[in-house]
Amino acid sequence: MKFFITGGAGFIGCNSADYFLQQGHEVVVFDNLSRKGGPANLEWLRARHGERLHFVEGDIRVYEALAGAIGGADVVLHLASQVAVTTSVQNPREDFEINALGTFNVLEAVRHRVPEAAVLYASTNKVYGGMAGARVVLANGRYRYAEYTHGIPETYPLDFHSPYGCSKGTGDQYMLDYARIYGLKTMVFRQSCIYGQRQFGVEDQGWVAHFVIATVKNRPITIYGDGKQVRDLLHVQDLIRAYELGLAQIETRPGEVYNIGGGPQNTLSIWTEFGSLLAALAGQEPLVNRADWRPGDQRVFIADIRKISDQLGWQPTISPSHGIRDLYEWVSRNPQLF
């Protein structure tokens, strides 16, 4: 099959491209190389796959370029995105143009050029907003949901907070509606905290990698709030397996949406647990600064992954302790990248 991956030089994109190239598929990476680490990820892909990798430098905001490059695709992985809440607040127009208009362009390019293609969209748990209705309690040094013991399900009300939530949520809903109205084979993954090798995390996005990189480089980490916030972590290789399983069943499940993350079994408190794990890996305590809570910072987010487990037969397999060690070792081997 021919894969067309928007944002294919990004963290999830390059890992996806690498995996599907290894499976013998043809892969086209479509990327404007604006993200930190993008050029390095592209060179890594070229070193591993040579001329089998097809790269098109382009921007999803430019419909003509996108439509001209997408021809012949059997699968479209739409991963290109503006990914930081803070950036969306600073520049909401750019955020809208990339996430909302860009996703609309992808769907229109598919509808007019490759209407039989499968389309997978990387959405976000931020479409659920502040989740004021999900009561949180503090127990044993970490936050947890009082009622949602399995995590947040797909049926939880959407409530877009921040320009980022609005723009990603717009793309999310367009994906679902294009399946209903035009019969496109779309599938939406509302992704929780994804991490792994080739992630060039910064404070505002990719916090797991950011903490690891800062620890390896002996840079200070700023902890906002009390550090007891909890997230479910999912290794990028487990995410790609979910993409593969989704593609295998998209003919019978077009227009489906799945929450995907580590689930209740793969959670970590942002600092009270992660800090000690990093200290053990580094052999010393990381440098830490403390700051007040940031507006809208969720005390806890855990994805309910029962739907994707039941319908696609997927479960995460890589534990946070194993995956973070792997990421730490990769950063340690490649300090020149950071």
pLDDT of 130 reads 86
CA 165 from centre of chain: 14
**How far apart, in whole angstroms, are the C-alpha atoms of residue 96 and residue 103?**
10
List the domain range (segments joined by +) for residue 89: 2-337
* Bridge partners of residue 185, in order along the sequence: 118
In the predicted structure, residue 85 carries a pLDDT above the cut 90: no
**Catalytic annotation, pick one of 121, 164, 195, 328:** 164
The answer to whether residues 100 and 121 touch, using CB atoms and an 8 Å cutoff, is: no
Helix 207-216 × helix 320-333 angle, to 10°? 50
296: pLDDT strictly greater than 80: no
Write the CATH number for 45: 3.40.50.720
How many domains is the chain partitioned into structurally?
1
H or E element, residue 54: strand 53-57
pLDDT tens per residue, range 193-213: 999 999 999 988 899 999 999
Calculate ∠ Cα 19-192-83, nearest 5°.
80
**Residues facing 257 on adjacent strands:** 188
Tens of pLDDT, residue by residue over 4-47, are 999 999 999 999 999 999 999 999 999 999 998 999 999 999 99
Q: At what angle do helices 274-282 and 207-216 cross, to 10 degrees?
A: 30
Is 224 a known active-site residue? no
Q: Six-digit token pair at 59?
A: 């921007």
Q: Where are the alpha helices (DSSP H) in the chain?
A: 11-22, 38-49, 63-69, 85-90, 92-96, 102-113, 162-182, 207-216, 236-248, 274-282, 306-312, 320-333
Residue 86: the pLDDT is 86
